[in-house]
Amino acid sequence: MQKAFKYLDENEVKYHFHNYKVEGIDKLTIEKWLYHLPLEKLVNTKGTTFRKLSEKEKEAAKIPAKAIELMMKNPSLIKRPVVHLGNGKYLLGFNESEWNDVKF
């Protein structure tokens, strides 16, 4: 997230930051993301939160409805940042070369 904030600030991009780790995340928002982003990319399988899940929960994370419940319960399972560009376009995670190709 720090790299993303730095990039946005250095490029004078106005943004609204919703800290879903603190403020929580609702089902409708996750469903909207999943309409545009693949589940296997939205769930952060490389983080410690995922690694701490039981094997049963890890399997459940592959099923959209169950993954939504898990992400609402454990927002750290969501790969960050999720950037909504408008018109159904999103960036997921920070990749500077990918971000350079976007008009914010």
Question: 56 is written with which tokens?
Answer: 């049963």
Assess whether the previous peptide bond of 38 is cis (omega < 30° from 0).
no
> Model confidence at 84, in pLDDT bands (50, 70, 90)?
very high
CA angle 44, 47, 50 (to 5 degrees): 75
* pLDDT for the residue 90: 96
Terminal Cα distance for the chain, rounded: 17
> For the whole model, what pTM was predicted?
0.91
What b/e readout covers 12-36, taking b as 16+ CB neighbours within 10 angstroms? eeeeeeeebeeeebeeebbeebbee
Residue 103 confidence class, pLDDT cut points 50, 70, 90: confident
The architecture in CATH of the region 2-100 reads: 3-Layer(aba) Sandwich (3.40)
